[in-house]
């Protein structure tokens, strides 16, 4: 079905100028050119798209010949990236997934697609899209929308519905289950019954998906401004444990609810930062998710091997991070600073002397401090301690010097005097803290 320009609300003025340049050049050179996927979907529901994906009947080599600023990438399938400063427009050639093309695709035994590089036409391309609302094509030739899968109806009723047989589609690519959770969180859409129903049972297929891809998908779930909602959906569909098994276990054993509160508050904070355009880092995200599991493992290690608290903590970090990597490939450039930052949580307890003062200069201080505040908010750290580290940052260097060193002498002198006045166990005890 083709929806003519007057019958839909998508306006060119909301499409990125660079995407339009690409579309117009393709058209001028005699090719078909459409925007498809999240760009069209988001504009139709009134969100501003994060990027615009262009599809065309031109082959990747032909696309490259048309744009100076173009690179071909991809192994699983070849596609073109046209770069304009910081913006990259992805240009993909229509691909086929049905009708005679089957022989050219590689599957695993469970049906997962390994490679699909068979070029096709637009009416074949639609079958490889996941949800109907992601299969709406905006045609630059006449500004119409091509809708083969009744995606417009699902936009109207705010529903995610897989194209084709859901079980087959999830088997082909289990990440589609994560995408269902993610997009329903992002868009606030419901999930059609048939699309939601098989997820629980098929969730374990996520084991087959490469860790690097699950890591990418994790960042899309948790760093796009809808982390808290994504978390809720993932748990609702039994998907979360295939991304964060340690965290999932900690949540199940969470008797007083502190783990859940902590994760939810941490994800809420992340969402607020994304909405305020502040930077977010996987280091902090993983710290939020792995903190309680690490504490738990540290306790176990100490019970088993004895040894110092710090050693047990460091070993626990390595163990949990190591196992986490088998699920989502969490890069070392984030896991190393995460470990430092978590270790600093213990060092915050010491507020006296040069070592404590040096914490302020530590390159992980800011993150570690934010983490401490989060813990205090959730009843996992003393709020007074968090307040102290908040206040110290507002002081001048001289005042800071005093706060870290001089106070100690005065305190202990006062305490000495006090203890001289009242015997041990008297009413003054316990006020210092
Ligand atoms: P967003 O950009 O908001 O994350 P999106 O739907 O645009 O969402 P992309 O990963 O940018 O997600 O994918 C672009 C389009 O490619 C999708 O809209 C969909 O049509 C198709 N697509 C992406 N991933 C898959 C998949 N795993 N299976 C089938 N189609 C997919
Ligand atoms: Mg997109």
Q: What is the pLDDT of residues 391-406, one digit of tens each?
A: 988 888 888 888 887 4
Q: What pLDDT score was predicted for residue 103?
A: 47
Cβ of 37 closer than 6 Å to ligand 1, yes or no, is yes
pLDDT of residue 399: 84
Question: What is the structure's pLDDT at 430?
Answer: 33
How high is the mean pLDDT of the chain? 90
Task: Grade residue 113 by pLDDT with cuts at 50, 70 and 90.
Answer: low
Entry field: residues in the chain: 433
- Ligand 1 atom 11 nearest Cα: 38
* CA 182 to each of CA 26, 36, 218, 224, 296: distance values in angstroms, whole numbers, following the listed order: 32, 18, 9, 10, 29
Contact (CB, 8 A) for 374 and 269:
yes
pLDDT over 50 at 102, yes or no: no
**Which range is least confidently modeled, 35-49, 235-249, 401-415?**
401-415
What's the CA gap between 258 and 292, in Å, rounded?
9
Q: With a cut of 70, say whether residue 288 has pLDDT above it.
A: yes
> pLDDT of 115-128, one tens digit each?
566 889 999 999 99
Task: For residue 55, list its beta bridge partners.
Answer: 34, 92
| pLDDT above 60 (res 423) | no
pLDDT for position 157: 98
Ligand lying closest to the C-alpha of residue 173: 1
- Please give the model's pTM, rounded to 2 decimal places: 0.88
Query: Under 8 Å CB-to-CB from 145, ≥6 apart: which residues?
Result: 2, 3, 8, 10, 40, 136, 137, 138, 139, 152
147 or 394, greater pLDDT = 147
Give yes or no for residue 129 CB within 6 A of ligand 1. yes
Identify the pLDDT of residue 417: 53
What percentage of the chain carries pLDDT values higher than 90? 76
pLDDT score, position 405: 76
What is the DSSP code string of 355-371? HHHHGGGSTTHHHHHHH
Choose which residue among 50, 77, 130 to substitute to test ligand 1 binding: the one with the highest number of ligand atoms within 8 A of its C-beta.
Answer: 130
DSSP code for 138? E
Residue 110 contacts residue 95 (beta carbons within 8 Å): no
For residue 44, the model assigns a pLDDT of 96
Contact 285, 323 (CB under 8 A): no
Contact (Cβ atoms closer than 8 angstroms) between residue 75 and residue 114: no
Q: Which residues contact 311 (CB under 8 A, 6 or more apart)?
A: none
Average pLDDT over residues 220-238: 97
How far apart, in Å, do the first and last CA atoms of the chain sit? Answer: 72
CA of 175 to the centre of ligand 2 (A): 15
Q: What token pair was written down for 375?
A: 């813990």
Q: Kindly list the catalytic residues.
A: 51, 53, 130
**Band (408; pLDDT cuts 50, 70, 90):** very low
Pair type for strands 159-160 and 190-191: parallel
Residue 398: the pLDDT is 84
Name the strand (E) or helix (H) holding 147.
strand 145-147
SS3 164: coil
- Residue 354 confidence (pLDDT) above 90: no
* pLDDT, position 115: 58
Give the environment of ion ligand 2: residues with CB less than 5 A: 38
């Amino acid at each position: 079905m083709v929806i003519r320009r007057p019958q839909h609300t998508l306006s060119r003025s909301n499409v990125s100028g660079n995407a339009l340049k690409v579309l117009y050049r393709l058209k001028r050179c005699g090719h078909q050119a459409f925007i498809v996927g999240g760009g069209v979907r988001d504009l139709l529901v009134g969100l501003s798209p994060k990027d615009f994906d262009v599809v065309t009947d031109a082959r990747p080599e032909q696309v490259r010949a048309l744009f100076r600023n173009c690179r071909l990438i991809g192994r699983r399938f070849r596609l073109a990236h046209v770069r304009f400063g910081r913006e990259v427009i992805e240009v993909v050639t229509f691909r086929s997934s049905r009708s005679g093309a089957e022989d050219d695709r590689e599957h695993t035994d469970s049906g997962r697609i390994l490679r699909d590089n068979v070029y096709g036409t637009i009416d074949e391309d639609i079958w490889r899209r996941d949800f109907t609302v992601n299969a709406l094509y905006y045609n630059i030739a006449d500004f119409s929308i091509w809708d083969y899968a009744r995606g417009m109806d699902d936009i109207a009723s705010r529903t995610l519905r897989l194209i084709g047989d859901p079980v087959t589609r999830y088997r082909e690519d289990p990440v589609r289950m994560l995408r269902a959770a993610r997009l329903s969180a992002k868009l606030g859409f419901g999930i059609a019954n048939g699309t939601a129903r098989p997820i629980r049972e098929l969730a374990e297929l996520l084991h087959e998906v490469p860790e690097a891809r699950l890591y990418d998908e994790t960042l899309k779930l948790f760093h796009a401004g809808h982390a808290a909602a994504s978390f809720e959906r993932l748990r609702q569909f039994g998907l979360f444990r295939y991304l964060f098994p340690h965290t999932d276990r900690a949540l199940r054993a969470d008797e007083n609810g502190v783990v859940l509160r902590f994760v939810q508050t941490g994800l809420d904070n992340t969402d607020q930062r994304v909405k305020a355009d502040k930077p977010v880092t996987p280091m902090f995200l993983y710290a939020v998710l792995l903190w309680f599991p690490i504490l738990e493992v540290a306790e176990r290690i100490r019970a088993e091997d004895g040894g110092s608290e710090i050693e047990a903590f460091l070993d626990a970090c390595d163990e949990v991070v190591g196992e986490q990597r088998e699920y989502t490939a969490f890069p070392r450039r984030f896991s190393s600073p995460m470990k430092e930052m978590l270790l600093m949580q213990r060092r915050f307890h010491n507020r006296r002397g040069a070592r404590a003062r040096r914490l302020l200069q530590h390159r992980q201080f800011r993150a570690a401090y934010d983490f401490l505040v989060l813990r205090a908010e959730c009843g996992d750290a003393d709020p007074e301690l968090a307040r102290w580290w908040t206040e110290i940052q507002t002081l001048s260097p001289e005042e800071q010097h005093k706060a870290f060193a001089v106070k100690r002498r005065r305190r202990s002198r006062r305490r000495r005097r006090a203890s001289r006045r009242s015997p041990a166990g008297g009413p003054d005890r316990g006020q210092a803290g």
